[in-house]
Structure 1
Amino acid sequence: MNLANRHGIVTGAGQGIGQALAVAFAAQGGHLLLVGRTEKTLKETAQLVESAGGTAEVLAQDLSAPGAVDAVVRAVESWDVVDLLVNNAGNVRAGRLELSSDDDVRSMIDLNLTAPVLLTQALLPHLRASGADAGSVVLNISSSIALVAMPFYAVYAATKTGLAAFGESLRRELHGTGVHVATVYPGATDTAMMTSNNAGWETSSVADVVADVMAALAEGAHEINVTPQSERDMQQLNANDPLAVDAAIVPSLDDFEAGVRDHRSI
């Protein structure tokens, strides 16, 4: 797949994986609408995009807020081409389900799942039209937790698994239309989102994750697993014998809860 000169939207573009993906597409001549909650960090990403050889517009929006999706669509209505959508924006709150607030539950569902579904739905006419010749890309950033749902992440796991299933279903729905739907499964990545996690997980660098994503996407991949190799055995075991994963996790459950209970990016 040719990723050069893409015109599209990157959500959660102010930092982390979203920022790095924006820069990666910029290095191939991309023109991007950078969407996120904080204008200051979006402008910083825009500078990186321009330094990398791309161009950028900035839209500060909370995608879970009413009217946000419409604002994104309005921002690209004048574009001749919209052939890229990166659904990256997300948040997390770990901890026991019965101790989770209703607001935290809704915040994860609204941003991690509802927002990308509605944004993709709204932009599909543009993506279809632009994909007729060179092909459009919808890139959904899920999580390794969609492959192995860890305790104390019940709601986050539900949203990221839902996003993965959304991508799989949509990929089949759009077969032959020129819209390429791909799902990325990052493991723990060295971003600001992980600073409050004290579980001792092995983390990957943002640069390595994004390099792997771009290489896989260029090869036409649909399911892009960029988790560390150390996690792959557990993923395979979970696919074949999930109760064995339960047995492996339970002995350290209290320590694991202590390590993740403050993990919060909301």
Structure 2
Amino acid sequence: MRLEGRIAVVTGAGLGIGKATALRFAEEGARLVLAERDDGRLTEVTELVRDLGAEALAVPCDVTDEASVTHLAQEAAKLGPVSILVNNVGGGRSGRITNLSVADWDHTMALSLRSMFLCTRAFVPAMQAQGYGRIVCLSSGARNGTVWNAFHTGASGYSTAKAGVTGFIRALAIELADDGITVNAVAPGPIDTELAGPYLRKMHEDGLEYSPIRMTPLHRLGTPREVADAVLFLASDEASYITGTTLDVTGGR
């Protein structure tokens, strides 16, 4: 029960790593504020969290929208002071640099960076008031360039956004250190989520030279729970002397 009594906000809680994190936190005693823009997914994960015996507040939210994030913070405050924030929302649109539109670039930056900025800004004041906080942001192994995406489809926008997460957490860790708030990131490799898994496996099945399974030393996709375990560690008091760090969960890549 490493998070017993803690109130934690998880964004993008309806699928993949966000869902796995919500369930993992519930197992460890957290009280959950679940943010998700898809009503069906939000209902499902909320029921699963409650089935584990955890308290859950479901808040429909588009975390790229300032007003929606403000509403999320107001709703979360009804549950109590938030001490853990997981900025899980991210993603983007692929495309080689000569074909990548401004709209696709901006969309990618909004998903991975604007959402993280808005949510962090909204919840830091409550953490400062407590003199305690844990912020965990989702980066990616793609911040250093993911060969299979870069080679086969182009992924400069996504890689740029995920590299930006590293700069964000490094600077903010220093800014908030005196407030008792740690700020870290988890960088997943190829993970078998509902959305990415089929695409990643197909690359391997099609015999592509640069496939994630072939290029990952452990020769398999990771699971959402394996990433959630890393998020849990950084959100717990076991990581009390770790801040400004990006933890790779990439199967050795």
TM-score range for the pair, normalised by the shorter chain length: 0.7 to 0.9
Q: How far apart, in 1, do the equivalents of 2:225 and 2:91 lie?
A: 20
In structure 2, the residue matched to 1:227 is 250
Contact 1:36 1:89 in 2 (8 A): no
Post-superposition offset of 1:213: 3.5
Contact 2:93 2:107 in 1 (8 A): no
Question: Secondary structure of the residue that 1:109 maps to in structure 2?
Answer: helix
Contact 1:113 1:159 in 2 (8 A): yes
* Change in 2 beyond 3 A, CA 1:217/1:121: closer
In structure 2, the residue matched to 1:40 is 40
* Change in 2 beyond 3 A, CA 1:211/1:175: same
Q: TM-score, normalised by structure 1?
A: 0.79
Contact 2:137 2:186 in 1 (8 A): yes
| Number of equivalent positions | 227
Q: Alpha carbon RMSD of aligned pairs, Å? A: 2.0
Post-superposition offset of 1:2: 4.7
Aligned 1:156-167 pairs, distance under 5 A = 156-167=158-169
Post-superposition offset of 1:192: 2.4
Q: How far apart, in 2, do the equivalents of 1:53 and 1:147 lie?
A: 39
Matched, 1:207 2:209: no
In structure 1, the residue matched to 2:75 is 75
Post-superposition offset of 1:216: 5.2
Contact 2:135 2:235 in 1 (8 A): no
Post-superposition offset of 1:217: 4.7
Q: How far apart, in 1, do the equivalents of 2:235 and 2:22 lie?
A: 14
Q: TM-score, normalised by structure 2?
A: 0.83
Post-superposition offset of 1:37: 1.6
1:107-126, CA deviations, whole angstroms, 9 ceiling, x for partnerless residues? 11111101111211121111
* Change in 2 beyond 3 A, CA 1:70/1:14: same
Q: How far apart, in 2, do the equivalents of 1:9 and 1:47 lie?
A: 16
- Aligned letter for 1:165? G
Q: How far apart, in 1, do the equivalents of 2:110 and 2:25 lie?
A: 27
In structure 2, the residue matched to 1:136 is 133
In structure 1, the residue matched to 2:85 is 85
Q: How far apart, in 1, do the equivalents of 2:79 and 2:229 lie?
A: 28
Q: How far apart, in 1, do the equivalents of 2:99 and 2:134 lie?
A: 39
Aligned mate of 2:177, from 156, 164, 175? 175
Post-superposition offset of 1:157: 0.8
Q: Which runs of 5+ in 2 are unaligned?
A: 204-210, 214-220
Q: Which runs of 5+ in 1 are unaligned?
A: 232-266
Contact 1:6 1:25 in 2 (8 A): no
Question: Secondary structure of the residue that 1:97 maps to in structure 2?
Answer: coil
